[in-house]
Chain A
Amino acid sequence: MATIQTSITSVRRNLDRALIVTRREVRDMFRDWRIIVPIIILTLVFPPLMNITAGSAVRFAERYGAPIIAERMFPFMLMVVGFFPISISLVIALETFVGEKERRSLEPLLSTPLTNLQLYIGKTLAATLPPLVGSYLGIGVYLFSLYLNVGWTPPLNLLVLLIVLTTVQALVMVAGAVVVSSQTTSVRAANLLASFILIPMALLVQAEALIMFWARYHILWVIVVGLVAANTLLVRMGVRIFNREELLGREIDELNIWRSVKLWWRYVKQSRPAAETTTRAGVLGSLWGWYRREVLGALRQTRVPALVVLLALAGAVALGIQQASVWPIPPEVFASEGYFEHFETLLEVIGLQGARGVSLILWQNLRVLVLASSFAIISFGVMAIIVAMLPLVIIGYLGANLFANGVSLSLFWAAVLPHAVLELPAIVLATAAALRVGTSVVAPLGGRTVGENWLLAMADLFKLWVGIVLPLLVGAAILEVFVTPRVVLALLGT
């Protein structure tokens, strides 16, 4: 009880102090006509314009017997009217830290007793609230004029959905922009990096528009959940990587690739303390020492991500099984006798025999895992997990269909297990290492910068690939070509 009370007091104190900054920033904002005029236009002028546009479009469509357009156009315009004012929040948020740094007013602020969290929250709220209020007002003005003109009111659940969607979109844009602002050295650089926020949001809004016209509003709730998760990640990342020193000290956005490569190589050679001297002498001895210290050390640090990946893969299999009941394969496909009669011939035709087969399988697996690792870098690791899940969804789907159609599951396992014993751990480890790379920017370890943390995660990824994943994939490919078919054929009795 006392702990809860202390936590509540701490949250209130942090919020009170953050609001000191928020109040100052908002007051200052409203003294800048360059911010006020666009908000007024987007709040008071834009909605009636949208109303006129929507009305004209609906009357035009109705002339040709398409009244459904009215049902879909008004909610769509409501979403647009709500979104446009919050686009201003991006501009405000982008210059919130780096603008103060350029104007040299940041150091006095950093020298006050404000904590990083209080400063961060204060500025984020200041960037979010005015555009959001403008957005709500715009929605209100639009709805009022729509009601007056055509008597249309949205269903309550749709209105709630659009207000929530607008809010989380604003929060995500601001959270992303504040991260950018706190990590760049100039407003110009921040504006250039804003593309990484604007483009995904623009694509998302287009997708939402399609969904609005399709009237599948429940999908928008899924988007809301995804945006809430993204916002939580971005805010956490922003607070964790917020660094007074970098904010104040760094004057030039320098990308020293050679230096990064050198640091990465240093981490590959040694990123963990040498606990003991290896008893073996020579190159082999030091290689084994490196392997024990660095590769096995990286493996130990990948335990939790590996568990997350395992759970996701189990979920993928379950999803595949569930989808087998929704989209069953027609029974006729399994009806023909001698289904596996030409199994060996099939393998020959596909090319999955001999050394060529090994290299094909290895190449396929490498391609998928490298792609997943690359996606991990730009998606906080999420895409790596999704890419790894896809084949297991298919396996679950196929297995469930086979079972439903009376095909022996032992054949199915015979075709999967012999090489999966090596392939699955390789997939799990590679994906887990990629997940660590993706999340290294969200939660950097104390004492290291974001860049150093990322390079460390990349070094561990390299060690795991070289030391464990590649050998496992090679072994799995050999098993899949030379052992799995023999097991299948043995079961088939041929």
Chain B
Amino acid sequence: MIETDGLTKHFDDFVAVSDVSLSVNPGQVLALLGPNGAGKTTTVRMLSAILRPTAGGARVAGYDVVRQPDAVRTAVGLLTEHHGLYLRMRAREYLDFYGELYGLDKDARQKRAEQLMERFGLGADMERRLGEFSKGMRQKLALVRAMLHDPEVLLLDEPTSAMDPQSAKLVRDAIAGLRGGGRTVIICTHNLPEAEMLADRIAIIRRGQVVAEGTPLELKSRLLGPPLLEMRLAGELDGLVDDIADLVQVESCGYDWVRFRVEDPGKTNPLLLQQLSAQGVGVVTLSEVPQSLEQVYLRVVEAGPDGEPLDA
């Protein structure tokens, strides 16, 4: 469980993070999105008790990040922005070192290291020096390091960065599995489709402040408006737009198609189809136009001069 309350961080005169209040329950995945320099890494470092907040507080796995930093660091697995491996070490001894730091006994850390390396396709590379690993392999090893001590909370910065599609899927499946195991996960990522796929909740940070937070569906509804539907007809529109204007909010139309928004598709769509059928208008397809997280994100970060996101 992660709870932050007014978390703030100043570096001299620069405000890196300001008044961030978040809550992530066990078994939930929160995706922390934001432009470069928004404060994501600083927030993660405060949650992993590396940096001390200037104001506010946070509790991670039940421990206070200020008063119980050692306990927080024991309960957290951190995948850092840079993998930070010791390139002269072999994979086995590297994981053995970190396992020992996290308090695992020799058998437990060996077994756990082998299990995780197998899971991420690195089982055959235990005796290789880390300097010989490719970029993607190093990233996977860093993820193994973060998961080695089976932490309650995982803070993952760009977990699938530099990975091939197959490895990325392995990692995503692993993260989804963590959710099932009651772990709390925060991922920082610029891969919006991945965030949408994995996250139960999204928080968008801009200039150190959380400017939008909610489930992907809530954010889309709040920031992009009601669902956008597209209807394709068998023939041309021929003034149909005026006929249906009292039922739906028309956004755009073409020769034989129209896009419209409707608050309650479940209620309105059947009425619309009935009306069109009564008029003898043939409907080829009626489907929802996918609204992506990218649209939400861009709407939030490309806010007006007063800093407020441009709501739908």
The stretch from B76-84, B169-177, B216-224 touching chain A is: B76-84
A345 at the interface (CB under 8 A from B): no
A416 at the interface (CB under 8 A from B): no
Q: What is the CB-to-nearest-CB distance from A428 to chain B, in angstroms, rounded to a whole number?
A: 37
Report how far A106 CA is from B45 CA in the complex, Å.
13
Interfacial chain A residues near B100, Cβ < 8 Å: 20
Report how far A110 CA is from B11 CA in the complex, Å.
19
Structural contact, B84 and A112, CB atoms closer than 8 A: no
Structural contact, B97 and A20, CB atoms closer than 8 A: yes
A151 at the interface (CB under 8 A from B): no
Residue among A24, A104, A113 with max Cβ neighbours from chain B (10 Å): A113
Interfacial chain B residues near A245, Cβ < 8 Å: 50-52
B74 at the interface (CB under 8 A from A): yes
Count A-side interface residues using an 8 Å CB cutoff.
24
Given A111-B78, A112-B98, A113-B103, the answer on whether A105 and B85 have CB atoms closer than 8 Å is yes
Residue from the list A20, A28, A107, A248 in contact with B101, Cβ < 8 A: A20
Contacting B at CB under 8 A, from A241-267, are 244-245, 248-249
Count B-side interface residues using an 8 Å CB cutoff.
30
Report how far A112 CA is from B80 CA in the complex, Å.
12
Structural contact, A244 and B50, CB atoms closer than 8 A: yes
Structural contact, B82 and A112, CB atoms closer than 8 A: no
A108 at the interface (CB under 8 A from B): yes
Q: What is the CB-to-nearest-CB distance from B12 to chain A, in angstroms, rounded to a whole number?
A: 8
Q: What is the CB-to-nearest-CB distance from B135 to chain A, in angstroms, rounded to a whole number?
A: 13
Q: B70-98: contact bitstring with A at CB < 8 Å (1 yes, 0 no)? A: 11011010101111111011000100011
- What is the chain B residue whose CB lies nearest that of A25? B86
Report how far A398 CA is from B52 CA in the complex, Å.
57
Given A113-B102, A248-B50, the answer on whether A107 and B82 have CB atoms closer than 8 Å is yes
Contacting A at CB under 8 A, from B60-78, are 70-71, 73-74, 76, 78
Structural contact, B84 and A107, CB atoms closer than 8 A: yes
Structural contact, A112 and B51, CB atoms closer than 8 A: no
A325 at the interface (CB under 8 A from B): no
Interfacial chain B residues near A32, Cβ < 8 Å: 88
Q: A6-46: contact bitstring with B at CB < 8 Å (1 yes, 0 no)? A: 00000000000100100010011001100000000000000
Residue from the list B78, B84, B102 in contact with A106, Cβ < 8 A: B84
- What is the chain A residue whose CB lies nearest that of B98? A112
B48 at the interface (CB under 8 A from A): yes
Interfacial chain B residues near A115, Cβ < 8 Å: 70
Contacting B at CB under 8 A, from A105-164, are 105-115
A103 at the interface (CB under 8 A from B): yes
Report how far A106 CA is from B142 CA in the complex, Å.
13
Structural contact, A104 and B103, CB atoms closer than 8 A: no
Interfacial chain B residues near A17, Cβ < 8 Å: 101
Given A24-B97, A32-B88, the answer on whether A108 and B145 have CB atoms closer than 8 Å is yes
Interfacial chain B residues near A31, Cβ < 8 Å: 88
Structural contact, A113 and B101, CB atoms closer than 8 A: yes
Interfacial chain B residues near A106, Cβ < 8 Å: 84
Contacting A at CB under 8 A, from B100-146, are 100-103, 142, 145
Interfacial chain B residues near A248, Cβ < 8 Å: 45, 50-51
Interfacial chain A residues near B45, Cβ < 8 Å: 248
Contacting B at CB under 8 A, from A65-124, are 103-115
Report how far A110 CA is from B69 CA in the complex, Å.
11
Q: What is the CB-to-nearest-CB distance from A182 to chain B, in angstroms, rounded to a whole number?
A: 15
Given A113-B73, A113-B103, A248-B50, the answer on whether A28 and B84 have CB atoms closer than 8 Å is no
Q: What is the CB-to-nearest-CB distance from A205 to chain B, in angstroms, rounded to a whole number?
A: 33
Given A24-B97, A113-B70, A249-B11, the answer on whether A107 and B50 have CB atoms closer than 8 Å is yes
Q: What is the CB-to-nearest-CB distance from A327 to chain B, in angstroms, rounded to a whole number?
A: 56
Interfacial chain A residues near B74, Cβ < 8 Å: 113
Interfacial chain A residues near B97, Cβ < 8 Å: 20, 24
- What is the chain A residue whose CB lies nearest that of B76? A111
Given A113-B74, A115-B70, A248-B45, the answer on whether A104 and B82 have CB atoms closer than 8 Å is yes
Residue from the list A20, A24, A108 in contact with B80, Cβ < 8 A: A108
Structural contact, A107 and B102, CB atoms closer than 8 A: no
Structural contact, B101 and A112, CB atoms closer than 8 A: yes
- What is the chain B residue whose CB lies nearest that of A243? B52
Report how far A104 CA is from B87 CA in the complex, Å.
11
Structural contact, B102 and A112, CB atoms closer than 8 A: yes
- What is the chain A residue whose CB lies nearest that of B41? A107
Report how far A453 CA is from B76 CA in the complex, Å.
33
Interfacial chain B residues near A20, Cβ < 8 Å: 97, 100-101
Interfacial chain B residues near A104, Cβ < 8 Å: 82-84
Report how far A191 CA is from B278 CA in the complex, Å.
86
Report how far A113 CA is from B99 CA in the complex, Å.
11
- What is the chain A residue whose CB lies nearest that of B157? A107
Q: What are the 7 A-B residue pairs with the smallest beta carbon separation, nearest first?
A: A104-B82, A105-B84, A111-B78, A112-B101, A113-B74, A108-B84, A113-B73
Which residues on A are within 8 Å of B, measured CB to CB?
17, 20, 24, 27-28, 31-32, 103-115, 244-245, 248-249
Can you list 8 A-B pairs with a CB-CB distance of less than 8 A? A104-B82, A104-B83, A105-B84, A105-B85, A107-B80, A108-B98, A111-B80, A112-B102
